[in-house]
Chains A and B, each alone.
Chain A
C-alpha cells in the first residue's frame, strides 16, 4: 500500500533540499505550501480518517500535476498528516502539536467526528489557522469563530432538505404520500441533532405522524425489541439512524429477518455509515437493497474519472463523502491561495471569507462562498440509495448517477 512512511523525516529532507537548491533561484517564493490534514488514523475511526487521507492525497497530486499554485509561481502543495487519534483529548493535543510544530501551515482540514473537529478548531481558532471541515454539527459554526469553514450542510439543514425530497420521491414512485413515520436511532450527537430537527419542525410541516421513537446507546446488543416495535407499528417510513457499522448490520439484518427489509418498509438513514464499503463485509447486498441515506456529499455525476482513480489507486469501491469532500477541500485551498497571492494563513483565511462564489464542483449544491458564520452558502445534500450492492447518488437530479426506486409496499 502506498503509505506516508516516515513522512516527517522525508518531508524535512525534501524541504531542506528545496530550500537549498531552489531557494537561491526563487528566494521570495516558498517552494511548497503546506496544508494540514488532521484526521483519526488510529483507533476506532481509523477507517474514515484513512479515506479522507486518500481524498486529500489525490487532490494534492492533481493540483500539483496541473501546475500548482499559479499565483505563487507554481508553488506545489504538500500535505502534512497528523493523527488526531480516537478521543477528544488526543484530538486537542494533536491540534496543539500541529499549530506548534508546523508554523508554516496555511490551513488544514479535518477531523471526521464533530467532537474532534470541535476540539481541534478551539486550538486552530486561537492560532488563527483556517480549518475547512466536512463535519456537519451545527455547533461548529455557532461559536462565533472566524477561522472555521464548514463545507457541508449542517445536520439540522440536512434533514430539512432531505425529508421533503424523499416525500416527493415516494409520491412520484409509489403514487401515495407517506403518512406515518417511526424513528429508531442511536444517541450520538449527530443522530440526536438530526432527530431534534425532524421532531421539532419537519414532521408537522410534512404532515407526518410519529408512531414511535426508539433510542439505543451504541453498541447495539440486540435489535429484536426495536424491530418488533417497527413490525407492530408498520410505519410508512422508517428513519433508521445508526453511526456504527455493527449497529447498522444488526438492525438491518433483523429487519430483513422479520420480513421488513429490502424496502418493504422504506428505510432512510442520515449518515454515511450505512453506505460505507465496510457494510458489505457484514451484510449481503440483498439486506441493504433499496436502503436510502441522506448525506452531505457523495461521489456523483461528473466525478466518474475520480471514482475510477480512487478505485484503481486505493481499491476503494466507491467514493464516500470522506473522500470527495476532502478532495474538494484541497481545491478549495488552491482557490483561496490563488486569491490570497501569498502563502500566509491569515491571507488564506481572509481569502476563504471572501471567495467569489464560483460553482461548487466537489460539494453538492450552492456555491464556493461562506457566510459570516463560516457555513457554505447554499450547501445541499445528496441522497444515496443502495442498488445492487452499490450505494449510488439518486438525488439531486443533476448529480444523480442512477434513478431512485421506491419500494412497492
Chain B
C-alpha cells in the first residue's frame, strides 16, 4: 500500500509540475522551473551516495563537470547532439564514479569528504590547463531541435522533469531494494553491515557509479541549458555545495528531500538575487545564508523528516513504557537448567589462534572446538580478549598464527561478508539499530546474504523475527524499541542470514533481570532449533543457566575449557575472575 502511495505521489508531483510549467509563459520563470529540476536531480545524485551511505561527498562537481564538458566538447568537436552525448556523459560519470571510488573508499568519515573535495578541484585545473576556459555550445540555426535547442523554454522543463522522475524512480527502487538497505546498513555501522554479509565495498562502488551517472547526465543537460561551460561553473565548489545544500535542507536519505530542497532554495535564492541584487548588491547572499542557517537549526535532519515527524507521526510505539510480554517469550523458566544433548559433529575448530597488536598479545594460542547445536559461553574479565576472538572468527581481524576451520574448511583471511555467507553470523556489543527503519527492514538487511530474491529475503526476515518473538513489533520503527527488543532484533538480523553458527557479543549486557530471562529463553530455543551459538558475556550468573560449555579466557589465553559445573567450581577461575560470592559457592 505504502509503495503504491509513494509512486502515486511522484506521478502527481510530475503532472502538477508539468501543468504548472505549461501555464508559465515568462521565459525567465520557465528557466527557473528547469533549474529547480536540474538541482533537484543533482541533489538526488548526491543523496544516492552520501544520503544513504553517510559518506559525505564534497566532490560531486567532478561528475557534473565531466558531464557538462562531455556534452559541450562533443558538440564542438564532433558535432554530436546532446540527445546522444547526454547518455554518454552519464556513462562517463558512472565510470568516473568507479575510478574515484576505488581509491577513495579506503578512507572514512572526514577523510573521505576531504579526499572527494580534491577531485573537482583537480579537474578544474586540468580543464583550465587544456585551454577550455570557456566553451560555448554552438547555436544550431538549421535543426535546433536535433541539438536540443528550443525557443520554447517549456520543452527544457519537460526534459528535465523526465530526467528527474526517472532518477526519483531509480532512487525509490534503490531505497526499497537490498541495494538501499545495504547502503543504509553501511551508514549505520559499516563493520556490522560487513558482518551481516554485506559486501560493503561492492555496494559503495555501485552507489558511487550510479550517483556519478546521474550527476554526469544532469551535468550534460545543464550545459545545454546554460549554453556556456566554464571550469568554475561546472567544477566549482558551488556546484558540490549546491548539491549538498538542497539535499541537506530538504532531507537526507529520502527521495523527496532533495526535491523539496531544490523547490524552495533555488527560487528563493534567485528571487532574492533578482529583487535585491540591483538594490543592495550582495544582500541576497546574506539573507539566503541566514535563512538556511535558521531552517537547519529548526530542522536539523532536513525539512522532509521534520515535517513528517510533526504531521505524519506513526502511532507511538510501545517504546516508552515497558512492552507487554509477548506470549511467545513467556517460556516457563526453571532455575534448573535442563540437560541438552549435543551431537559430536564439530562445526568450528579453532587451532592455536594468536593475535598481537604491537607488543600487546591480545590472543595467545587459543584452541577450542564447537560442536553442532551447542551453546558455548566465552567468559573472562574485561580485556581478556573475548571480542578479539570474535573479530578473528568473523574476519574483522586476520590472526598472526593459527587456523579456524568452519565445517572443515580453513577460513583465515576471508572477508567478513564472505564468512557471513558461509554461515558465520554475529551481533555486536554496542547495538547499532537502523533507527529510522522498521524492525522488519532492520532484519531484512541481514537476510540478503542468503536470499536470491527480495521476496525470499522478506520471507527469511519474517521468519527470523518470528523466531525471536518480535512478530508483533515488525512494523515498528527501530528508534522506538526498548533495549530488550533491540537485542532481540539484532539477533534476528544475524539469524536472517541463516547462520550455522551465531556469535553473540554481550547480548545480555544492559538488560534488567526479567529481560535477561526473556532473551535467554530465545537463545535457548534457537539452539534447540539447531543453531550453534557462541556467546560472550561477563555476567556469569546468567551464563551458567544458558551454556553447555564454558571457555574462560584471561590475558588472551585459555584458562579453563569445560562444563559449567566444573568451571564454576574451579577455584582458579572462581577466585581470579568471579569474585568472593562464587568462590564461597565453589567451596561449598
Contact = CB atoms under 8 A, between A and B. Distances in A.
B249 to A, nearest CB: 18
Given A122-B227, A137-B134, A189-B134, A87 B238 contact: yes
Contact of A6 (B273, B279, B281): B279
A41 B230 contact: no
B31 interface: yes
B27 A99 contact: yes
B278 A93 contact: no
Interface string A82-117: 110101111011101101110000000000001100
A50 B281 CA distance: 10
A101 B129 contact: no
Contacts of B285: 42-43
Interface residues of B, number: 37
Interface string A163-203: 00000000000000000000000011100100010000000
Given A42-B285, A88-B232, A187-B125, 11 more contacts: A6-B279, A50-B281, A83-B273, A87-B238, A93-B273, A115-B233, A119-B227, A126-B139, A143-B139, A192-B128, A217-B125
For the residues of A in contact with B, the DSSP-based class is: helix
B281 A83 contact: yes
A188 B278 CA distance: 27
Contact of A217 (B29, B128, B131, B227): B128
A99 B30 CA distance: 12
Of the listed residues A115, A122, A196, the one surrounded by the most CB atoms of chain B closer than 10 A to its CB is: A115
A64 interface: no
Nearest to A100: B28
Q: Which 5 A-B pairs have the closest CB atoms?
A: A83-B277, A189-B133, A100-B28, A88-B233, A41-B281
A3 to B, nearest CB: 8
A267 interface: no
B279 A118 contact: no
A126 B151 contact: yes
B219 interface: no
Contacts of B238: 87
Interface in B397-418: none
B47 interface: no
Of the listed residues B29, B134, B227, B238, the one surrounded by the most CB atoms of chain A closer than 10 A to its CB is: B134
Interface of A: 4-8, 41-43, 46, 50, 81-83, 85, 87-90, 92-94, 96-97, 99-101, 114-115, 118-119, 122, 125-127, 137, 139, 143-145, 187-189, 192, 196, 217
Contacts of B125: 187, 217
B542 interface: no
Contacts of B136: 118, 122, 139, 143
Contacts of A8: 275, 278
A127 to B, nearest CB: 8
Nearest to B124: A217
A87 B242 CA distance: 13
A93 B35 contact: yes
B226 A83 contact: no
B26 interface: yes
Nearest to B282: A42
A93 B32 contact: yes
Interface of B: 26-29, 31-32, 35, 125, 128-129, 131, 133-134, 136, 138-139, 151, 225-228, 230, 232-233, 236, 238, 270, 273-275, 277-279, 281-282, 284-285
Contact of B230 (A81, A88, A145, A192): A88
Contacts of B138: 143-144
B27 A46 contact: no
Given A82-B278, A83-B281, A87-B236, A145 B128 contact: no
A140 to B, nearest CB: 9
16 contacts: A4-B278, A4-B279, A42-B284, A50-B281, A82-B277, A83-B278, A87-B238, A88-B226, A88-B228, A93-B35, A96-B28, A97-B274, A115-B228, A115-B233, A118-B228, A127-B27
For the residues of B in contact with A, the DSSP-based class is: helix
A96 B131 contact: no
B227 to A, nearest CB: 4
Nearest to B242: A89
A185 to B, nearest CB: 12
Given A82-B278, A87-B232, A115-B230, A145 B273 contact: no
Given A92-B227, A101-B26, A119-B227, A85 B31 contact: no
A272 to B, nearest CB: 18
Contacts of B274: 93-94, 97
Contact of A90 (B29, B230, B273): B273
A227 to B, nearest CB: 22
B233 A87 contact: yes
Nearest to A83: B277
B131 A192 contact: yes
A8 B31 CA distance: 21
Nearest to A7: B278
Of the listed residues A4, A6, A93, the one surrounded by the most CB atoms of chain B closer than 10 A to its CB is: A93
Contacts of A101: 26, 28
B93 to A, nearest CB: 19
A93 B31 contact: yes
A83 B236 CA distance: 21
A139 B134 contact: yes
Given A43-B282, A46-B281, A89 B133 contact: no
A121 B389 CA distance: 69
Given A99-B27, A122-B228, A85 B277 contact: yes
A197 B514 CA distance: 85
B29 A100 contact: yes
Nearest to B32: A93
A81 B278 CA distance: 7
Contacts of A88: 226, 228, 230, 232-233
B126 to A, nearest CB: 11
Given A88-B226, A89-B233, A115 B134 contact: yes
Contacts of A90: 273
B139 A145 contact: yes
A119 B31 CA distance: 14
B42 to A, nearest CB: 12
Contact of B26 (A94, A100, A125, A217): A100
B518 to A, nearest CB: 59
A216 to B, nearest CB: 11
Contacts of B139: 122, 125-126, 143-145
Contacts of A192: 128, 131, 133
Contacts of A97: 28, 274
Contacts of B232: 87-88, 115
Contacts of B282: 42-43, 46
A188 B124 CA distance: 12
A125 B141 CA distance: 12
Given A114-B134, A143-B138, A100 B228 contact: no
A87 B226 CA distance: 11
B134 A96 contact: no
Contact of A119 (B26, B29, B226, B273): B226
A173 to B, nearest CB: 35
Contact of B279 (A7, A145, A187): A7
B21 to A, nearest CB: 15
Contacts of A127: 27
B134 to A, nearest CB: 5
A96 B277 contact: no
Nearest to B141: A144
Contacts of B35: 89, 93
A189 B270 CA distance: 27
B262 to A, nearest CB: 14
Of the listed residues A6, A42, A94, the one surrounded by the most CB atoms of chain B closer than 10 A to its CB is: A42
Contacts of A196: 131
A174 B230 CA distance: 43
Nearest to A120: B228
A369 B13 CA distance: 53
A87 B238 CA distance: 9
A404 B422 CA distance: 85
